[in-house]
Structure 1
């Protein structure tokens, strides 16, 4: 059977980057993915902090949503500008504010969120590392919705392949929009690994083990597993056109290089977490955990 015939035609899936078009205003799935990740993550965070030994109260969680969301958006965008397309954005600075066109760096978002958490912890005199542990359990929800939006946007697709579930995405070839070769739907792979599987791993650690009483264990696990998943998937993910030269020169994609410190940092936090175990005093009159 001809490979091009067997592959899934993306244009036949009925998907559009625009969820609602009001003429003067377009609501895009990319924006909805961020909103869904924030609201679903907030709901799950409230469930986590109801358990004994929580590092913060409901009032802190409310503030955290604001600081973390700001960190994700600003850090994610600035990370993409600096890590992936500095030349383009320095020449076209007004393009930086066009978040609706996509272009967010997860690694930049992590740094931005960390800055927001550290600021909140300093302001409220909380333990910043334990807050990181709880937030780490929530992040895979946003990763899942974000990767689904990447698929709907027909962006960040994988390398050419002949697997039965390969997808032919619209591509600009010689200045003309046409269907490209069958490719890995790497956005869906990432949604499954970085979103669903990582969420399950952290949920099991939180609910079935004593990991949340060892500061750094959960955020370390998040950094390590995300880094490993992303590093491996980059081998079947197509690099951006403007970064092909970088990948060929270094032997690895930009995303893989950015994952190396995450993997090493995650291993360190997990290896040293047991030594940070302490008596944890909870908020809202819940029981203390030794």
Structure 2
């Protein structure tokens, strides 16, 4: 039975997320390394105030995910496949052996800064539960205007879809989808319109930055955000990391692919359990473990047990 490591994206953050990471020497080492690359203590990034900033959120998510991956690796646990949701893709690329942690830090810092500069206010994201993609798109078409554009951003599950765009447009869409029968429709704690055409300028600048970074052939198969396919070359991962900021994240399709390829244990890196909740709902015979809830030791033991039984 195969194991897939999942790296969460923006929206999973919470105050003290770095301080609450498991106590492990490789976690401490990773935090120290990140602080040295950034030239400041990253443990100052996870306050409620600083997590209002896209840059601090994305860097905190990257470091949390990679730190625990390093701890799992030190305990002898290596995944068969990896996937990262949105900015989590950079942590997944590090775990796959394609991108160095130092380069990932620099790229994610740039990514967050570019996104904040492009849309400092008036934009964001929302989530709609209990409504199909077709019905959500119909609502978006109804309320889309040039002044308040709205787009599909993430296809997390057949009935869980996130939308991006101008706050005025998002509020109209969310209000009307609730009336139209959505189980839940609300704004997310994301202050930029990720994964839509509004981010094409950011994608181009990221592409330029990634062209100056050396990526390796992945040692572990990596599921892409945009195509929901396994990416096995450095160039394919480079393209995914750059372009996905302006493209729909096909998360349900990506994890479905991992499941079809034999993944029966999904392990989510900190800080949350959003991705394992989605996997547990979609794949009812799979085991799903969030490090934030179970810890490193329990996840390592379960991974070994699943491997022995496979």
Normalised TM-score (structure 1): 0.27
Q: Which has the higher helix share?
A: 1
Query: Which is greater in Rg?
Result: 1
Q: Which has the higher strand share?
A: 2
Normalised TM-score (structure 2): 0.26
